[in-house]
C-alpha cells in the first residue's frame, strides 16, 4: 500500500526526465494531469546475474509505467485515466483525473508533495495556496501549470501565457515554494462578451445618429427650396 502510494510521487521528476503537473480549475471541478517523460536509461534493467542470484531489483519506475495508479490517498477504487506512449528514447506517461474540490483535497499530490496547502472556496472566489517545502522534486525542475477560464484576481506566477499560469520548482526554491492564486467564480469571457455587446450597441447608436442627422439635413434642404 505504502509503495503504491509513492509511485506517482517518485516519478513526478526523475533525473534526466521532464515532468509537468497541470491542473485546470473550473467552477465545479479540478482536472489534474501528470505528464512524465521517462528516458530509457532511467528505467532499471535487471541483469542475468541478478536474476540468477535471486536479487530483487529496486525498480519503482516500471510499475509506474505498467500498473494502475490511484489518485486518492485513502481510496484504491478510483483509478487515473492513463496513457503510455513508448518511443525509442523515452516513455511518455500521462495520468488524468477529474476531481470535485473535496476529492482534490484528498488527492495524493496535494497531500504528499506540498508542506503547506490550502484550497478554499469562498462566496465569490477560490483561493489556492501551496507553500513551504516541496517533497516531490527528484530532478532539476518541475513546472506547475494552473489553467482557468475564470477571471484571476491575484497570482504570483513565474510565467503567464493566456489563461495558463506557470510556477517553476527547482533546487533553488525547493524549501520555500510559494504558489498563490485567487480566482473569481465569474468567467473571464464575460468581460469580453460585455465589451463586444457595448461595442455593437455603440455602433448601432452611431448609425442611428448618422441617419437622423442625414434626415434633418435633407428636411432642411427641402425647406430651403
Q: What are the backbone angles phi and psi of residue 179, rounded to the nearest 5°? A: -120, 120
Which one has a higher pLDDT value, 195 or 77? 77
User: Residue 225: is its pLDDT beyond 80?
Assistant: no
* Longest pairwise C-alpha distance within the chain: 115
Strands (E), 135-176: 141-148, 150-155, 159-161, 164-170
- Where do we find the cell 518541475? 142
Q: What are the backbone angles phi and psi of residue 211, rounded to the nearest 5°? A: -65, -40
- Where do we find the cell 434633418? 216
CA distances from 52 to 46, 56, 65, 110 (A): 10, 10, 25, 41
Distance CA 151, CA 191 (A): 9
Please report how many Cα atoms fall inside a 13 Å half-sphere around the Cα of residue 46, on the Cβ side: 14
Question: Of the segments 7-21, 48-62, 126-140, 195-209, which one has the largest average pLDDT value?
Answer: 126-140
Contact 21, 141 (CB under 8 A): no
Q: What is the mean pLDDT of residues 101-129?
A: 93
Contact 59, 65 (CB under 8 A): no
Distance CA 9, CA 13 (A): 8
79 grid coordinates? 483509478
Q: How confident is the model at residue 3 (pLDDT cuts 50, 70, 90)?
A: very low
High-pLDDT (> 90) share of the chain, %? 44
Q: What are the backbone angles phi and psi of residue 21, rounded to the nearest 5°? A: -115, 110
Amino acid at each position: 500500500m505504502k509503495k503504491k502510494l509513492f509511485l506517482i510521487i517518485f516519478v513526478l521528476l526523475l533525473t534526466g526526465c521532464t515532468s509537468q503537473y497541470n491542473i485546470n480549475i473550473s467552477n465545479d471541478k479540478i482536472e489534474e494531469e501528470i505528464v512524465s517523460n521517462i528516458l530509457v536509461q532511467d528505467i532499471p534493467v535487471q541483469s542475468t546475474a541478478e536474476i540468477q542470484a535471486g536479487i530483487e531489483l529496486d525498480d519503482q519506475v516500471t510499475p509506474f509505467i505498467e500498473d494502475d495508479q490511484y489518485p486518492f490517498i485513502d481510496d484504491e477504487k478510483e483509478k487515473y485515466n492513463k496513457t503510455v506512449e513508448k518511443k525509442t528514447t523515452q516513455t511518455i506517461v500521462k495520468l488524468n483525473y477529474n476531481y470535485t474540490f473535496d476529492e482534490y483535497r484528498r488527492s495524493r499530490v496535494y497531500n504528499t508533495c506540498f508542506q503547506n496547502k490550502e484550497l478554499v472556496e469562498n462566496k465569490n472566489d477560490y483561493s489556492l495556496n501551496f507553500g513551504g517545502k516541496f517533497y516531490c522534486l527528484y530532478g532539476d525542475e518541475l513546472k506547475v501549470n494552473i489553467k482557468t477560464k475564470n477571471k484571476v484576481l491575484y497570482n504570483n506566477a513565474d510565467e503567464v501565457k493566456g489563461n495558463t499560469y506557470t510556477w517553476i520548482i527547482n533546487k533553488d526554491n525547493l524549501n520555500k515554494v510559494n504558489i498563490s492564486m485567487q480566482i473569481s467564480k465569474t468567467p473571464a469571457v464575460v468581460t469580453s462578451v460585455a465589451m463586444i455587446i457595448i461595442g455593437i450597441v455603440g455602433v448601432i447608436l452611431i448609425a442611428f445618429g448618422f441617419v437622423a442627422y442625414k434626415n434633418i439635413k435633407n428636411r432642411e434642404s427641402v425647406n430651403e427650396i
